[in-house]
Structure 1
Amino acid sequence: MIEHLSEAIPVYIEQSGILAPILFILFHLIRPLLFLPVLFVCMVGGYLFGVFYGSVFSIIGLTLMCIIFYFIAQKFPNVLSRFAKMNQKMLKNGPLTMNQIMVLRLVPFAHFHLLSLYVMEQTSSFKEYTKYSFLGVILPGIIFTSFGQLLIDLPLFYSGILLLFLCIIFFGVKRRGFEKQTSIQWKKFFKASS
């Protein structure tokens, strides 16, 4: 049933004329209910609208999905308990930085809403959350729209190289960047306080 629906929706969007962009953005919003990956929906956008408009519509749809997730999490805190177990498994080595979250958005199989939860934990207001959510979906929206088919069609060897490259970037990102951190050396701290 869901497979037929996921095949029928892009065809319906393609035939809807001027309403196609709105329907495509709505497709992003119902994507979690259909258990479709972000990559698939962005690829559909590239096919239907081309790289530029497909990317723009995907960025709008993904940002709206982040905003909806924020309000659902605020209204129904028990929704967050579902992510608690995944969260504990992912964060064994400490919390993720905003830079690492941005890189993880580029990994097609990373859980989209779990990453939104991390952004929510790293930010202090809805405005800040929306800003970082928007910034975090720009690059994946563009890449998945323009190169989505390439990622799927890559031979296993090249897929492994791409995954290794993303892992190197993920673990190589310093804990500086979006976060403001203060570092005080041990000797200077005790020297100043004596």
Structure 2
Amino acid sequence: MEQFDQSLETFMNNVGWLAPFLFILLHLLRPLLFIPVIAVCIAGGYLFGFFEGALLSFIGLTLMSWISYVLVNKFPKFREKMSRLKDKIFPNRTLSVAQVMILRIMPFVHFHLLSLYLMEITKSLKEYMAISALGLIAPAILYTAFGQSISEFPWYVTASMFILLAAMFSFIERWQNSRTESD
């Protein structure tokens, strides 16, 4: 990870004013390069500082959401693959928008899988993009600002944060189920 950050910093310093565009392009190529979202956002905070790094990560992630929408709706095989993954990871489960947003904060949860859930919840591209963009604000800010700190925390602090997010996810599911049963 440290070597990746150093290589990226050297490259970005050499490209000058193109650096922000190339960073957004890195967000778009990230799935093909098997680079986790958190790694790119950490690099953004390191290279551009908190505000610009978070803004560029938000733009890159939002464009990636749009690309996810296009891929799922234009390529049936991609949609089938994502649906199989969804059935494997979350069998017989419907997620709410709030649950998807919490999962977006968790590192290493499949980006396109969460996008598929949002597509199934929403009725149009406009609604999907609005909800998706709202759900990308927190990860862009958190990963950019605290990503480096999170990666340096002892394992038990990181595990505690993961357990807290999992508990919130579970609480929302139970709360929604109780609302549904009472209706």
Could you tell me the TM-score, scaled by structure 2's length? 0.89
Give a deviation string over 1:39-72, Cα, whole Å, max 9, x none.
Answer: 0000010001101110000000000001011111
Query: Are residue 175 (structure 1) and residue 180 (structure 2) matched?
Result: no
Give a deviation string over 1:20-55, Cα, whole Å, max 9, x none.
Answer: 111111110000110000000000100011011100
Give secondary structure in 2 for the equivalent of 1:81: helix
More displaced 10-residue stretch of structure 1: 76-85 or 26-35: 76-85
Query: Are residue 31 (structure 1) and residue 30 (structure 2) matched?
Result: yes
Give secondary structure in 2 for the equivalent of 1:16: helix
What stretches of structure 2 of length at least 5 have no aligned partner? Answer: none
Q: Name the CA distance, whole Å, in 2 between partners of 1:14 and 1:22.
A: 13
Q: Name the CA distance, whole Å, in 2 between partners of 1:172 and 1:93.
A: 18
Aligned letter for 1:159? T
Q: Name the CA distance, whole Å, in 1 between partners of 2:100 and 2:156.
A: 25
Q: 1:162 to 1:5 in 2, by over 3 A?
A: closer
Q: Cα offset for 1:7?
A: 6.5
More displaced 10-residue stretch of structure 1: 34-43 or 153-162: 153-162
Give secondary structure in 1 for the equivalent of 2:105: coil
Aligned-pair RMSD on alpha carbons?
Answer: 2.1
What pairs up with 1:1-194 in 2 under 5 angstroms? 8-92=7-91, 94-173=93-172, 174-175=175-176
Q: 1:184 to 1:154 in 2, by over 3 A?
A: closer
Q: Cα offset for 1:110?
A: 0.6
Contact 1:6 1:34 in 2 (8 A): no
Aligned letter for 1:148? G
Contact 2:28 2:60 in 1 (8 A): yes
Aligned letter for 1:39? I
More displaced 10-residue stretch of structure 1: 166-175 or 46-55: 166-175
Give a deviation string over 1:142-193, Cα, whole Å, max 9, x none.
Answer: 00001111121111111111111111111112439xxxx98775xxxxxxxx
More helix per residue: 2
Give a deviation string over 1:78-121, Cα, whole Å, max 9, x none.
Answer: 10111222211333352000000000000001111100111111
Q: Number of residues paired by the alignment?
A: 178
Aligned letter for 2:130? K
Could you tell me the TM-score, scaled by structure 1's length? 0.84
Greater Rg by CA:
1
Give secondary structure in 1 for the equivalent of 2:139: helix
Q: Name the CA distance, whole Å, in 2 between partners of 1:38 and 1:107.
A: 10
More displaced 10-residue stretch of structure 1: 150-159 or 22-31: 150-159
Give secondary structure in 2 for the equivalent of 1:105: helix
